[in-house]
Amino acid sequence: MSTTDLRLTDKGSLPKPGPLGRLLRLGLGYWVLMGFVYEIWDDRMMLTAGEFEPYDLIANALLVGLFLVSYVINIGFSQSFKKWPALVSALGLGLLALYDYSNTGNWTGFAFGTGFFLWSMYIFTHLGVSFLIAAVIGTPGCEMRAFHDLFSKVFKVEVKEHLCPIGPIQPLDKWESKQAWMKAN
């Protein structure tokens, strides 16, 4: 499934995660928050001062973030912007790097560092917190629908669900729902 597809389904049409699905979501949330958010937050002074070695961040957060941004925006906000979030992100960060280079001769100066910090903190915090909420409340399907699912539980409003477009979550939930120990609950 690509980011151009926003396939919302009726509530109750996807299997709820069992204990393994919840544990996976919890682990992924912890990994995203500690592996990306905490590391980027910890390097924020170097980022905004333009004193960081960009290759580690580019290899990790920038490329992963550009891959994930369309999923986070499209599914998280229930809008099909297709691949525009990734394109706008790449263009915006590229323009900030070009601005820095034209002023300082360094591609990763203050403007790029600040823009990258804010952009990546949003993408990875939204994703990490979504995983944790999905683990706690048992959101079926994609973790990016966890905020919607929480809203529906608090305000008793029905919201749509979304198949998880990438990763092991959907197959695990489907497998768990067919197990005898899950049907007994």
pTM reported for the whole predicted model:
0.88
* Model confidence pLDDT, tens digit, residues 5-49: 688 899 989 999 999 999 999 999 999 999 899 988 887 777 666
- Pick left, alpha or beta for residue 166 (phi over 0 → left; psi -120 to 50 → alpha; otherwise beta): beta
Whether residue 8 is contained in a domain is answered as no
**Rounded distance, CA 97 to CA 150, Å?**
38
Whether residue 6 is contained in a domain is answered as no
Do residues 57 and 116 touch, judged by C-beta distance below 8 A? yes
* Model confidence pLDDT, tens digit, residues 86-108: 999 999 999 999 999 999 998 88
Whether residue 141 is contained in a domain is answered as yes
Whether residue 3 is contained in a domain is answered as no
DSSP conformation class of 83: T
Whether residue 5 is contained in a domain is answered as no
CA separation, residue 91 to residues 57, 71, 85, 98, 148 (Å): 17, 18, 10, 10, 29
What range does the domain containing 178 cover?
Answer: 14-183
Q: Is the dihedral of CA 30, 70, 73, 89 positive or negative?
A: positive
Q: How many domains does the chain have?
A: 1
Whether residue 1 is contained in a domain is answered as no
Whether residue 9 is contained in a domain is answered as no
pLDDT given at position 109: 84
Whether residue 37 is contained in a domain is answered as yes
Do residues 124 and 32 touch, judged by C-beta distance below 8 A? yes
